[in-house]
Structure 1
Amino acid sequence: MDQEDNHKSFQILQITAGETYPVRQPVLRPGRHPEECIFEGDTTSSTLHLGAFLGYTLVGVASFMKNKHSHFNEPEQYQLRGMAVLPEYQNKKLGEKLLLEGEKRLIDQASNVLIWFNARESAIDFYKRYGYKTTGELFMIPNVCKHIVMYKNLVPRSG
């Protein structure tokens, strides 16, 4: 199987909060206690958890939580949290697939949605490629790294 065929075999499916933790922990909190990967809002019914699968193996995750940020006025706001792809599966466009599928699903359920999140400094350029903008200044999340707030208004495609 060549590399292009390998990319096509990945599927993005809805998963549970608990299924995200084994991917979040080694990517986002390596060497730390697994409980540090449990986020407030994980089990709320409005939270959307997506998983990237290669066959039956979960290799990437992203969670979209209904959560308002005081900087924004939009009534429908979702926070992207815990986006992670296992190291051996990075650079295969799985982050893109997770992000775009999350956007699609959110826009299918609400006409105007704002997605915002605290992006790691190292991921800013990735998100900018998909139309996300920064606001404010870099800040430190203790015991993690520098982050900045990023956002994007999702507007349904006409036609």
Structure 2
Amino acid sequence: MPIRTAVVPLSEIYELRWAVLRPGLPRESAEFAEDGGPHTFHLAAYEGEEPAVLGCITVFPDPFPAPHPLSAAAFRFRGMASAPEVRGRGYGAAVLAAATRESAARGARLLWCNGRTEATGFYKSQGFSVVGEEFVIEGVGPHLVFSREIQG
């Protein structure tokens, strides 16, 4: 069945974000300061017309943290997750592709994130490059900065 993506309210993706990215931590640990921003958007991935959210991502304008000519036109994504039962079936790639299209439509020319080090292979397969050194987010683990230029 094809993967469908849609821009949705935060409430639709929050449960998956919390369950996958912050297991064992309080629910509020999955709340991001950017969630309610005026230019923030959330995307969900579904299997066909089924209502269960199987992938999610949150995107917002945020200057790139290192010198870059496109820093002012950068969007950052956070909270990208796929349900464990569909990992490796394209849901992460689908929400990332939808986030790229939507970001470009909103004026972004650079897409970046603080991604888990263990996901390096995934990000590289999606055209992202590693920028800088590994760092640790307390309670979550080792991360790297990933970035990719995008077309409008």
Normalising by structure 2, report the TM-score: 0.92
Which structure has the greater CA radius of gyration?
Answer: 1
* Comparing 67-76 and 141-150, the one that deviates more: 67-76
The counterpart of 1:143, out of the listed 120, 125, 139, is 139
Structure 1 runs of 4+ with >3 Å offset: none
Q: Identify the residue that residue 37 of structure 1 maps to in structure 2.
A: 30
Structure 2 Cα separation of the partners of residues 120 and 70 of structure 1? 17
Instruction: Give yes or no for contact 1:21–1:34 (8 Å, CA) kept in 2.
Output: no
- Aligned-partner residue type, residue 29 of structure 2: E
How far did residue 109 of structure 1 move? 2.5
Normalising by structure 1, report the TM-score: 0.88
The counterpart of 2:112, out of the listed 116, 130, 152, is 116
SS at match of 2:35: coil
CA RMSD of aligned residues (A): 1.3
- Aligned-partner residue type, residue 21 of structure 2: L
- Aligned-partner residue type, residue 148 of structure 1: L
Question: Identity percentage over the alignment?
Answer: 27
How far did residue 108 of structure 1 move? 1.9
* Comparing 19-28 and 63-72, the one that deviates more: 63-72
How far did residue 147 of structure 1 move? 0.3
Structure 2 Cα separation of the partners of residues 102 and 148 of structure 1? 19
1:19-34 matched pairs, under 5 angstroms: 19-34=12-27
Structure 2 Cα separation of the partners of residues 41 and 56 of structure 1? 25
SS at match of 1:58: coil
Q: Identify the residue that residue 89 of structure 1 maps to in structure 2.
A: 86
- Aligned-partner residue type, residue 139 of structure 2: N
Aligned residues: 148
Q: Identify the residue that residue 62 of structure 1 maps to in structure 2.
A: 57
Gaps of 5+ in 1: 1-5
How far did residue 41 of structure 1 move? 0.8
Structure 1 Cα separation of the partners of residues 33 and 90 of structure 2? 28
Q: Identify the residue that residue 98 of structure 1 maps to in structure 2.
A: 95
